[in-house]
Structure 1
Amino acid sequence: MLEGKTVLITGASGGLGALVAEQLRAEGARIVALGRSRPAGSIDQFLRHDLSTPEGIEAAAQAVADRPWDLLVNLAGAQHFGPVEQETPAQLVSGYLVNLVAPVRLAQAVAPGMKARGSGQVVNIGSIFGSINFAHFATYSSAKAGLRGFSQALRRELAGTGVDVTYVAPRAVRTAMISERVLEFAKLTQMHIDPPEATAARIVAAIKARRRDVYLGFPEAFFVRLNALLPGLVDRALSANDRKAARLFAR
């Protein structure tokens, strides 16, 4: 199914992205990684671009726009954990650029070629936090919420063109993004943190099946649906954990 397909993937130098790239390559895909750092694993080509700046995003988009991609996998991410007022302006801007603007711009760059060939797939890796907007993850949650909305809108826009859009929302994954403070928060609140190997396998399975929206983890996937219907109920369910998290930053 993926044999001979050319995949453009961001975030392949990270713990989760490297595993996804490795598994896609094992399926026979040709892997082109895009980012600031060359992945340690085996890839077919590396494009060095910085997705945390407007200039870097535009340079990346221009570099990939005229190439025949079969899949775009937007996996690069950046996360701030803490009160929103403690996030620096630079962190805030770069976080939105990496988590939301870059995926949108890259999708915009590759979509015309996919449409012209009548085949392609845009895969956006979001987060459960994009549907259940957690306190102390405000900018990360809101960026991923934007990516979820973009994925749904783009899917409707591309209907009938042969180009599919897959949105996968993992819950927390044990990678370098999980800081010691996040680990402390997870222990206080009993938040699940999944091994990257299992999450990577489920992402690749969703890609192969050309799934539409995939939410990983229980009870988080259930809370996604509950939050859409009864957000006040979820507010109350999370309030105790929100207070516990606030104490982490009052020291």
Structure 2
Amino acid sequence: MPFENKSVLITGGCGGLGALLTRALLDGGARVTVIDRAQTGPEGTTYLRGDLSTPTGIDNIVDVIDRAKWDILINLAGIQHFGPVEAQSSAHLYASYMVNVVAPARLIQAVLPGMKARRSGQIVNVGSIFGSINFAHFATYSSAKAGLRGLSQALRREVTGTGIKVTYVAPRAVKTALNTEKVMAFARLTHMNMDDPKKIAARLLRAIRDEEKDVYLGFPESLFVRINGIFPGLVDGSLAANDLKARTLFS
């Protein structure tokens, strides 16, 4: 799908990865509307400042966007907790599921009627390798992204024959401000692969343009996704040593 004159709605478009993707879409001729909680949006976009971490915040955004025509919805916004699940505050736990899976589902509800009426459109959900390989100490993030993956697959089956495409992209760890100091310490301790956001933004753009279905980024992580789907016990064993290393960061 070329981007010239396409109306694109993107969440998280002010972040490190989001800003790069937004700029690339603008350069491709798209009309981009960004939803984020930053004070100001990227230059050249229409900016909707909003909070996707609460039902009220999500519905406030929906009240605005469901009156417009959208060619592409990109659910990119995400938040993360790294640490023992019992150490995560209840407020952050609720927000994790709201931002990572509930908000995407609600926005999809808002844009689908118009897309179906025009028999054209694309839903892009940006998940994570963590949604297929569910990492210890990322329990809520991994499970929320697993939900987003499931939502993408079910939606794709639901809209078959309507002219709507569903793209799910799962990057591995990306070097952005989303990563806390402890996440970076974990990456160093376990030699975890982390990708440059420019590389990921370019790959995301290509996946959207080519209307790809399921894209898993990085090797050997993309291979582990397949193995984990068939033999999760093997992945348990391969990750055990790193899981133990991670515990030392919280002892």
Return the letter of the residue paired with 1:100: V
User: Structure 1: which 5+ residue stretches go unaligned?
Assistant: none
**Separation in 2 of the partners of 1:57 and 1:214?**
27
Shift, 1:35, TM fit: 1.9
* TM-score, normalised relative to structure 1: 0.98
Match of 1:22 in 2: 23
Alpha carbons 1:6, 1:30 under 8 Å: kept:
yes
Alpha carbons 2:34, 2:41 under 8 Å: kept:
no
Identity score, percent: 60
Match of 1:191 in 2: 192
Alpha carbons 2:53, 2:96 under 8 Å: kept:
yes
Q: Deviations over 1:15-38 (max 9, x none)?
A: 000001111111111110012225
User: Structure 2: which 5+ residue stretches go unaligned?
Assistant: none
**Separation in 2 of the partners of 1:23 and 1:75?**
15
Match of 1:157 in 2: 158
Q: The residue matched to 2:248 in structure 1 has which SS?
A: helix
Alpha carbons 2:50, 2:61 under 8 Å: kept:
yes
Aligned residues: 250
**Separation in 1 of the partners of 2:176 and 2:15?**
8
Q: Does 1:8 align with 2:9?
A: yes
Q: The residue matched to 2:35 in structure 1 has which SS?
A: strand
Shift, 1:190, TM fit: 1.0
Shift, 1:44, TM fit: 2.5
Match of 1:50 in 2: 51
Q: Does 1:82 align with 2:108?
A: no
**Separation in 2 of the partners of 1:188 and 1:36?**
32
When the two chains are superposed, the root-mean-square deviation of aligned CA atoms in Å is 0.9
Q: Does 1:226 align with 2:219?
A: no
**Separation in 2 of the partners of 1:14 and 1:28?**
21
Shift, 1:139, TM fit: 0.1
**Separation in 2 of the partners of 1:132 and 1:61?**
32
Match of 1:215 in 2: 216
Residues 215 and 35 (structure 1 numbering): CA distance in 2 closer, same or farther, change over 3 Å? same
Alpha carbons 1:49, 1:56 under 8 Å: kept:
yes
